[in-house]
Structure 1
Amino acid sequence: MYNDLERFISFTEREGFDKDQKLVSSLYPHEMKQSTLLELCCYHGAVDCFKLLRTKFNSEITYKCLISSFLGGNPEIMSECLKHHKPDKDCMKYAIISHNIDFVTFLMNEYNIDIYIRLYHCIDHKNLESFLVYFDLTNDINTCFVYSACFNIPSICEYFLSLGADIMARDYLKSTALHNAAYENSKEAAEFLISHGININEIDNDGKTALHEAAYKIVKKQLNFLFYMVQISMKKINMEKLLFMLQQKIIVKKPPSFLYHMVRISMKKKDMGKPHFIMQHFKIVKKQPNFLFHMV
């Protein structure tokens, strides 16, 4: 992990050392839950330990070594891995996650790996730089506008609108920028879009409006929080924990306020089905603190 070659050498010289041993740990990404020593060196960028395993034990450079090297960020390790395996879309995924723009452009220019197939990783991992690289290469104004709301930076949305983006543009799921803003809980971006006239009642492929997305995200977040708090309550309760829970009782009631504002806007359109759906979620959110208090 720390590329401590001296300690690593002493470890390899111990009796019973197995060069092919694997570490099983849930602390690593799914693809890395069971990894060889060489794969771990790639993941952590431990280049000196990597060289030792290669020269002294001839450890195999696997495909997992290659994709891990994009997370580890050591160019020397990556270069060696590229001699044995051809990079693919998973390498682009990890290059985006690592926020290393040099790796991203390297894969695009040298191996013609399309960033679009991993564009959602730019969103999930808030890699704005890679997102803008995609726009620079494709000039796909509408697609970038639809996803720009996910970063919750209104000026970015405004920038794409100034270039001629259609405010009602949709992605491949028929989601608008407001759908994506609601899904990512991007309040400032949502307010910007609403103020610029985006239709909040547009539906996606699943028949959901942005209002549905906002309700789902709030309820899901609160249910996860509730489960965590109930786990705590099953342990020995002391006054400090009790006070913390009582504070959460107040906090949990606050998130629906912005959603309520959107409901009021939606009701002006006289589509009572959607507000009714949302209000059912309100009941769930409002009941959770009472149930939590009962569990305490």
Structure 2
Amino acid sequence: MHDQIDKFKKYTVENTLHHVLIKILSDYSVPLLEACCYYGSVNIFFFLISNLDFQINQKCFQYSFIGGNTDIINECMKNYNIDRNCLNDIVSCHNNQFLEYIFDDEIFQPQNFNITNIIMSQNLKAVYLLFKKDKNSIYPLCTAFSPTIDILNNEDIDLSKAYSDYSPMNYSAMYNTYEIAEFILSHGMKIKGTSYLFTAAQNNSIETAKVLISHGIDINGRDNIDRTALHIAAENNSKETAEFLIANGIDINARNSVSQTALHNATCSNSIEIAEILIKHGIDKNVRDSDSKTALYYAVINNYKEIARVLISPEIEFNYKYKNEETILHIALNHNYNEIAKMLITNGADVNIKNKNNESLLHIATDHNNKEIVELLISHGSNINAKDFWGKTALHNAIIKNYKDIAEILIAHGAQINEKDKWGKKLLFIKQRIIIVDKQLKFL
């Protein structure tokens, strides 16, 4: 809101306002007065309460701290007190002037603060204000803020005392505060399990990962669905951490609970650089998961062209048959993924392989009126007169669907016009039951 009071006054002459909702987030709208507080539109705010009998509510007060307009805040404070919701908004929007007011008036104690909120908003000022109030209250909160290492080094902080059950090492791994990680591990904290390394991999916190490994964390440790830290790095495109893990001996071909390697994860996340790193270090590209699907299958089904380009090479297995006896080339053609189909065809995929219905790839390309792929398949040796389960050739399908251009291409490359289908019907019989163009008829 731009707080254009003159235009707003003119608007109110012809329009009612009490049911107006204003969008403050992409999927969330609020009443007009609350929106004024949220955006700090002070002139419209006072016009509404003074002239149109709008009433301030607790939400107005809460949103006023986000808007940051002191006059609106003070007006709201006449009727409402700062509650926990207000406190959270004050912290998250870095309204540190009022945060100091809260500490000075002792409205809340350190243990009342939401640690996660302070960390997620990265409000360092809040950390220092807490430290000033009670130095031990900043632990484990401080582990998410690199500058607090000076406090830890110079102050006698009780590392056993905390107002939270959150793990300080998880925060350190999340925000890559590796100096703090080294500090707390050197002061007696024990590493339990491998979750810290997983958090470091998720957030590409390579320096913290180095600290954890230097203190003996199991680099090949698994989570509850049998993933390693490399799976996590691949899912989150944490390329530096992935390279570090590989260089330090993580099992590159480790499989999770559904038999997927990190290459499957990188592909499903479209993490091209991770896929390149894994392939460079020798990961097996033909590994099949519990559904018998390779990484390339997921690249094809999701039309991830660039990662498919990375995966396709002479040693890749193209012709494995999935559901309905379809190969990945069948799948690409059924979805009209031409770029991927061209990659597969030009790199050696079998162009004469058939599916459950005995349909060739040429049948499928014809059914989709895909001239480009029809021509490419023919140029790579596709059997132009191959028949499906019903005895139909690709030309039968082109004529039935009245795909003139496809029919011309097939006939020009030697398609037989007298072929019979399963019921003994020739194209001559079929053409009598449908409307086709004259140029096709003359060949029949």
TM-score over 0.5 (shorter chain): yes
CA shift at 1:100, angstroms? Answer: 2.4
- Partner residue of 1:160? 152
- Partner residue of 2:191? 202
Between the aligned partners of 1:259 and 1:159, the Cα distance in structure 2 is: 19
Q: Which gives a bigger RCO, structure 1 or 2 (Cα 8 Å, sep 6+)?
A: 1
- Partner residue of 2:181? 190
Whether the aligned pair in 1 keeps the contact of 2:200 and 2:209 (CA below 8 Å) is: no
Task: Give the AA of the match of 2:93.
Answer: S
Aligned ranges 1:199-278 → 2 under 5 Å = 199=188, 201-203=190-192, 209=193, 211-216=194-199, 218-219=201-202, 255=204, 258=207, 261-262=210-211, 264-267=213-216, 275-277=220-222
CA shift at 1:109, angstroms? Answer: 3.8
- Partner residue of 1:51? 46
Between Structure 1 and Structure 2, the one with more helix by share is 1
Between the aligned partners of 1:174 and 1:21, the Cα distance in structure 2 is: 42
Instruction: Please give the secondary structure, in 1, of the residue aligned with 2:113.
Output: helix
Task: Give the AA of the match of 1:7.
Answer: K
Task: Give the AA of the match of 1:152.
Answer: S
Whether the aligned pair in 1 keeps the contact of 2:149 and 2:179 (CA below 8 Å) is: no
Following superposition, which runs of at least 4 residues in structure 1 exceed 6 angstroms of deviation? none
- Cα 1:183–1:82 shift into 2, 3 Å: same
- Cα 1:47–1:26 shift into 2, 3 Å: closer
Alpha-carbon displacement from aligned partner over 1:37-73 (angstroms, at most 9, x marks no partner) = 1111111111111111112211010111000111111
Q: How many residues align?
A: 240
Between the aligned partners of 1:98 and 1:256, the Cα distance in structure 2 is: 26
Superposed CA RMSD in Å reads 3.0
- 2:145 is the alignment partner of 1:146: no
Among 93, 101, 119, the residue aligned to 1:123: 119
- Cα 1:104–1:264 shift into 2, 3 Å: closer
Between the aligned partners of 2:71 and 2:62, the Cα distance in structure 1 is: 14
- 2:93 is the alignment partner of 1:93: no
- Partner residue of 1:19? 18
Between the aligned partners of 1:256 and 1:24, the Cα distance in structure 2 is: 36
- Partner residue of 1:2? 2
- Cα 1:162–1:187 shift into 2, 3 Å: closer
The TM-score normalised by the length of structure 2 is 0.48
- Cα 1:262–1:105 shift into 2, 3 Å: closer
Structure 2 unaligned blocks of 5 or more? 235-261, 273-298, 305-444
Between the aligned partners of 2:17 and 2:163, the Cα distance in structure 1 is: 50
Instruction: Please give the secondary structure, in 1, of the residue aligned with 2:140.
Output: helix
Alpha-carbon displacement from aligned partner over 1:54-112 (angstroms, at most 9, x marks no partner) = 12211010111000111111111111111222221111111112322221122344472
Among 57, 60, 71, the residue aligned to 1:65: 60
- Partner residue of 1:40? 35
Task: Give the AA of the match of 2:72.
Answer: I
Alpha-carbon displacement from aligned partner over 1:96-141 (angstroms, at most 9, x marks no partner) = 1232222112234447223432241222211111211111122x33
Between the aligned partners of 1:263 and 1:188, the Cα distance in structure 2 is: 11
Instruction: Please give the secondary structure, in 2, of the residue aligned with 1:34.
Output: strand
Between the aligned partners of 1:215 and 1:16, the Cα distance in structure 2 is: 56
Structure showing greater Rg: 2
- 2:170 is the alignment partner of 1:179: yes
Instruction: Please give the secondary structure, in 2, of the residue aligned with 1:49.
Output: helix
The TM-score normalised by the length of structure 1 is 0.69
Whether the aligned pair in 2 keeps the contact of 1:19 and 1:37 (CA below 8 Å) is: yes
Instruction: Please give the secondary structure, in 2, of the residue aligned with 1:276.
Output: coil
Between the aligned partners of 1:23 and 1:93, the Cα distance in structure 2 is: 22
Between the aligned partners of 1:275 and 1:259, the Cα distance in structure 2 is: 16
Task: Give the AA of the match of 2:18.
Answer: K
- Cα 1:158–1:91 shift into 2, 3 Å: same
Between the aligned partners of 1:23 and 1:77, the Cα distance in structure 2 is: 18
- Cα 1:186–1:290 shift into 2, 3 Å: same
Structure 1 unaligned blocks of 5 or more? 204-208, 222-254
- Partner residue of 2:429? none
